[in-house]
Structure formats: structure tokens, C-alpha cells
Amino acid sequence: MTQLSATLIRELRAIAGDSAVYHRPEDLLLFEYDGTIDRGLPGVVVYPSTTEHVSAIVRLARQHGVPLIPRGAGTGLSGGALATEGGILMPMMRMNRLLELDLENRIAVVEPGMVNLELSRLVARHDLFYAPDPSSQKACTIGGNVAENAGGPHCLALGVTANHVLGLELVLADGAIVRTGGWGIDRGGYDLTGVVVGSEGTLAVVTKVCVRLLRRPEAVRTFLAVYDSIEQATEAVAAVIGAGIVPGALEMLDRNTIRAVEPILKCGYPLDAEAVLLVEIDGLAEAVRESVARIGAVLRECGARDVRSADDPRERERLWSGRKQAFGAFGALQPNYYILDGVVPPGRLPEVLAGVYAICDRHQLQVANVFHAGDGNLHPCVLFDERTPGVTERVLAAGAEIMRLCVDAGGSISGEHGIGIEKRDYMSWIFTDDDMHAMLRLKDAFGAGNGMNPCKAFPTHAGCGEIQRGPATAKLGGEAWV
């Protein structure tokens, strides 16, 4: 880890204020983790409040030759916001304002620290919403979503973050403040906005985001289909897509997920089911009414023992609660989980999902599957207790096999969680050396080098080969753990 000087810490305080800088060991431990099992301890944490703060901090990091790591809410699932080489960790949570709202053109400009769901809440009175809806949307930020090109259950029909970002304000590695894209206007030129979205903070720091807002649909209907086998449920997914139906969302939860969420959240999922599908359609009221019978028929033809539907907002929220809060509920089964993010063609779901269960059985691990079935975005959650000797190594070995299984099925290693440090060594499975060299040259074009969020997405120098992994718990004595 980079040892930071007292001079650098004083200079950071002069920029952002004493209350915005944290450097004591006990404070830094709070920023060692994100949503993965990897770790990275920063040398100092600083919260900027303005674009000018960000620019000054970026220049200072370059002057002192230390890494700079932008961070959102820390909900990421690939280690993308960890300080793997120490340096300056820069959470953007204090830059969280709605700056502009253009109702006529359905455009909003927000700061990167705005929580995803908060944007939809702020514009709901105008009958608008922001489409990308990660399961962590109550906590994750727009800036973090931009870094990872986040998706969500409704990305099947509405697209991921890249489809809803029109322009960005950026701070480059030399402190320069620039804009990319158009503030609601297509200005032509290179699509630098598209380059930055999904770049995981390795090219520049995002300080403003211009997003597209959508009209709330006139009608929404949510279906719950109950299946007695995984095979029936996965075949139903393929059948819905094959029938030319594009739902707003098409999600699957397996038996272990149901066992975790139902006793706690009372979602209405039968505990004896092997899988349930959540299917949502929206649009004009007449079109939704016409689709109800058609979707119900397809789901039943594939063996659903029960198909329910709801258009009442509270009932729909109840059905969705198990999907949105599944990860937190897994603690009822095991204290730890390792979530994966592979993508496969939807038609290959039955065989790939069978392979996931087989891999975990061979490694003697429990797995819960809850995922975006409609676009083949798998999220196997390998459940374990890290206090068991050797189990973390087995979990990581199983995870690598699952990723390879997805690639061999014609898929990819990430749908929405990004590459981060977790999957950077798998990039050669889907890209040639020439492909990766071309992408790495973008870092030079942006002037970022290895100073901006180093070791993410690609292992770029010798020290990047070492990933810190360790228990998030410690034994105090007897049966006490913290």
C-alpha cells in the first residue's frame, strides 16, 4: 500500500475541509470493502463537494504520484471501487444534487452521488422515471452505475445505463474539466460518453451526468409463475422470448432463494416450489390487457402449476420484494455469499444452469440463483461461511469454473457488475491480446495511465497480480465473532 505523507493529507484538508478527510486506521477500515469478498485499504479518504474539489484532488494525486480511486456507495460487486494499491479513495456521495430538470425534453442533470432510486422519486410527480434499476437501487449511486454500466431487472426492455446517459462532465487525470456528449442534443463527434460509461473509473472522474427520463407506463402487470422444476422454469424463459414477447422484466428465483426470502419478506412464493418466474409487462392499458392471456398461456404451457398476476402497486411491490432484497436475505442460510455475473444466450439457460448446480455440488457448496433470466444474465450466489478453513478457496475455484462455463456457452464474463479486480484475469477468455491492447491505449489517450483506479478491468503492471482476500470477520474468543 502506498504510504501517504502528512503534507498530502494537509493539502487534502485545505481543498475539501477537515470534516471531509479521513486517515486514521480505524476510519480507513470502513472503506476496505465493497460488495465482494476482496479487500483494499486506502491511505486516505476524501469527500469532495464540488467539481472544483475533484479537479484539485486529481491534480494533487498526480503531483504526489499516488493512485486515485473514485467511489460511489460501495455496493459494487466486482471490486471496482477498492483501493488495491492504497492511495486516495474519493467517495462522491456528498455530490448528490439534482442540478437541472428539463421536463419538456425529459432530461435531468445530476451529480454522481445521487442515489439511483432518489432520482425517480424526485421526478415521479411529473409522471417520469429513470429506467436503470439495479437491485441495489435504494443505495447505489448514478455515478457508480455509470462506472459499471449497471443494468437491472428492467434492462431487458429498456436497456442499461449506457442507453440512458446523454452526456457527462468529467475531470481528466490532469485536472481539466470537460464535457462529453450533448446536454440533450446530439452534437456529433466521437462517442466519448459511451467510452466512459462502463470504464470503471479508469479514464476520468464523472462529476455530472445528463440522463434521459421516461414517461411512467399507463399500465403495469406483474406475473408470478410457479414451477416444480428448474428445467420447466428455464424452458419457460426461452418460450416467452421465442414467442416474440419482450416483457419489461423477466426474473427467476430458485428454491434456495425462495427459502431465504419467503420466511422473512412474505412475498407469496410457495416454499415447496423449485423455481418462480417474475414477469412484468407495461405500456398502454389496452396493450397490457391483450398481453395478459398470451403470457399466461405460454407460462402454463411450459408446466407452471400456478400463474398469478397483480396490477395493484402494493401487491406488485410485495411480489418484487423477494427479488430486490434477496441478497440481504441470504444471511438466513449462510453468513457469506459470493455473487457471480455471467451472461449466456437465453436458449442455453437450461444446460448452463444445470452446470452451475453441478459445479457447486462437486465443490460441496450451496448455491442460490436469482437472476435476469430474460437476457441470460446469471447471478449464481455461492453461499458459505468464511470461518470454515479452506472454503473461500473452494468458492473462488467454483466461481472461475462457472465463468468459464458461461464463456464456453457463447456468453460473457459480465452483464452488469463490471470486471473490476474480480474478473480481470478472465479477459483473455473473450478478447485477444490485440483487442486488449487497443482498449488499454484509451488510458493513454485520456492521460490516465495507471494513476486512475489502477489494476481494474486489466492487470496493467506487476503489483496488480496480487489481490487481497481475507475474512470480514474475526474471532474474539469462544463462540464470539465480530
- Asked if residue 465 belongs to a domain, the reply is no
Q: What is the pLDDT of residues 253-309, one digit of tens each?
A: 999 999 999 999 999 999 999 999 999 999 999 989 888 889 999 999 999 999 999
Q: Determine the structural domain holding residue 210 and report its residue range.
A: 1-216+433-458
Judgement on whether residues 333 and 390 belong to the same structural domain of the protein: yes
Judgement on whether residues 263 and 199 belong to the same structural domain of the protein: no
Q: What is the CATH number of the domain that holds 356?
A: 3.40.462.10
Q: What is the pLDDT of residues 120-174, one digit of tens each?
A: 999 999 999 999 999 899 999 999 999 999 999 999 999 999 999 999 999 999 9
Judgement on whether residues 199 and 248 belong to the same structural domain of the protein: no
Per cent of the chain over pLDDT 90 is: 85
What gap in Å lies between CA 29 and CA 40, rounded to an integer? 9
Q: How many domains does the chain have?
A: 2
Q: What is the CATH number of the domain that holds 56?
A: 3.30.465.10
- Asked if residue 482 belongs to a domain, the reply is no
Percent of residues in the chain assigned helix, strand, coil, to nearest 5:
40, 25, 40
Judgement on whether residues 152 and 283 belong to the same structural domain of the protein: no
- Asked if residue 475 belongs to a domain, the reply is no
Judgement on whether residues 255 and 316 belong to the same structural domain of the protein: yes
Residues in the chain: 482
What is the per-residue pLDDT for 477?
Answer: 42
- Asked if residue 453 belongs to a domain, the reply is yes
- Asked if residue 477 belongs to a domain, the reply is no
Judgement on whether residues 221 and 170 belong to the same structural domain of the protein: no
Give pTM, 2 decimals.
0.92
Instruction: Report CA Rg, the chain.
Output: 23
Domain end point (choices 422, 443, 470): 422
C-alpha cell at 419: 470486471
Judgement on whether residues 57 and 127 belong to the same structural domain of the protein: yes
Judgement on whether residues 395 and 439 belong to the same structural domain of the protein: no
Mean local confidence (pLDDT), 325-330: 91
Q: How far apart are the first and last CA of the chain?
A: 25
Q: Is 70 exceeded by the pLDDT of residue 476?
A: no
What is the per-residue pLDDT for 469?
Answer: 61
Judgement on whether residues 200 and 66 belong to the same structural domain of the protein: yes
Judgement on whether residues 376 and 449 belong to the same structural domain of the protein: no
What gap in Å lies between CA 363 and CA 24, rounded to an integer? 40
- Residue 386, SS3 per DSSP: coil
